Each structure stands twice: as structure tokens, then as C-alpha cells.
Amino acid sequence: MTNSPVGGTPALIVIDAQQGSSDRSDQMHSGSGSVPGGREAILERINEVVSHARAADVPIVWGKELHRPDFADYGAEFESSEPEHGLYGTAAEHLDDRLAVDEDDMEPAEYVIAKRRYNFFHRTDLEHLLATYNVDTVVLVGFMTNICVHYTAHGAHERDYAFRVVEEGTGAPSDERHELGLRCIRYLQPRGVRSLEAVTESFDAYEGNSVVQRVKETGRVYPDTGPVTPGSET
């Protein structure tokens, strides 16, 4: 482990930055954070982190919490205090259109994953991607600080990853919930909450992930694939 604001071999994870109604005032609105300006300002910070991560050849994973419209996969979220959310067939099926990403034409070494639970690691292929890129640290931005960001940080912690939550790049339904989320996250890993400036400067100094560079150059993790023939191991 390292004290670096982005760890040794980082990946950037953007959590649940999905479309929704801009006039919602309920607890899913997630317009409170560590910067003034509401959700718009938080999304601007997320775009800034994404830009530095791309330039640094860091793998990026975009996550969405999505559920079937009949709620067959909703599980214990029926017991939660949240209104219904993240349903296929609604605006939530798409990432916020203010984000610097085109879901129909993804950049190399960037991926979209749908999840069913708060924890991004739960029954998704996230760990397969992280293993491919030899990741030891996940840098987290997105929504909500006190729920999905917190639970994903917890999931990373349980799986022996370091995590770094970008404080200005996360949001919650209220200032109180945002701060409570950050407090719980810091309890798990005291180095786990970092400033936007520290993270972007560290990305700028990062030498880049060699697998990402290969994907950008060739379009594939391994340019040569196919059956292994006798003697090819030498």
C-alpha cells in the first residue's frame, strides 16, 4: 500500500452518475457535496477527474444501478428508505448527458457495468476488469456519498483494494449525509478521502497503465489470441 492519492496502479470508477429529473427534491436528488453549485458542480468535477485519468492511461469503469421494471431483482431495497430508482426503461438507464462520455462510442479501456446493489463489486464483473489491468487502488467519484460510494469503498476494502474517494467529486441528498458518508469512508481507510487537486496532480504524474496503453495502440488487451500450440510457451 502507498500514501499516494491514486495508489500504485489505479482505476477510476464513476458510480451511478445517471440521468434523472432535474427538479427532484427528494432524497435521490444528490445535489449536496463539498463544493457549492449542486449536482452540476459535482458533475463538472467528475469530468475533470475523468479527463486527467484518460490522459494518464488509467482504466475507467462507469457504473449504473439498474433494476427490472417489475422489481424482480430489487431484493432488500424494498426495505430501504429510498423511493423507487434506477429502472430500465426510464432516464436512469443512461448516464447523465453532462458527463464527458459517449455510451455508444466508448473510449479504449473504458467500460459500462450495470449493478443491482449499492456495492459495485456485488455480482458484477468489476473484479475481472480490475485484475486485467493489475489494479491495486480504485479511485471513486459519483453518487451517493453515503450509500453507493460508501458501499463500494467498503466492497473494495473487503477485497483488499485501497480506495481513494475524490471528495469534491461525490454528492449526496444533503450536506449531513454527504459528511456522514465521508466520515464512514475515512474510518475504513484514513487515507481513503482525497482532494480533487491531489488526485488530478497524481494522475498527471502517473506513468500510465501498460495494459491500457496496449489497448489504445492495438484495440485489444492481448493483440495475439487463439489456441496455444506446443512449444509456444518458450
Please say whether the dihedral angle defined by the alpha carbons of residues 43, 46, 50 and 51, taken in this order, is positive or negative.
Answer: positive
Q: Which pLDDT does position 133 carry in this prediction?
A: 98
pLDDT for position 231: 67
Beta bridge partners of 194: 166
Fold for the domain defined by 10-218 = Rossmann fold (3.40.50)
Q: How far is it, in rounded angstroms, from Cα 191 to Cα 165? A: 9
Grid coordinates representing 198 are 491531489
CA dihedral sign of residues 49, 51, 54, 55? negative
pLDDT less than 50: residues of the chain:
21-27
pLDDT computed for residue 29 by the predictor: 67
For residue 23, the model assigns a pLDDT of 44
pTM score > 0.75 for this model?
yes
Residue ranges per structural domain of the chain: 10-218
Residue 26: the pLDDT is: 44
Q: What is the DSSP letter of 92?
A: G
- 43, 75, 192, 190: CA torsion to nearest 10: 140
Nearest CA to 48 out of 201, 211, 153 is that of: 201
pLDDT at position 1 is 72
User: pLDDT at position 230, please?
Assistant: 75
pLDDT tens profile 97-149 = 999 999 999 999 999 999 999 999 999 999 999 999 999 999 999 999 999 99
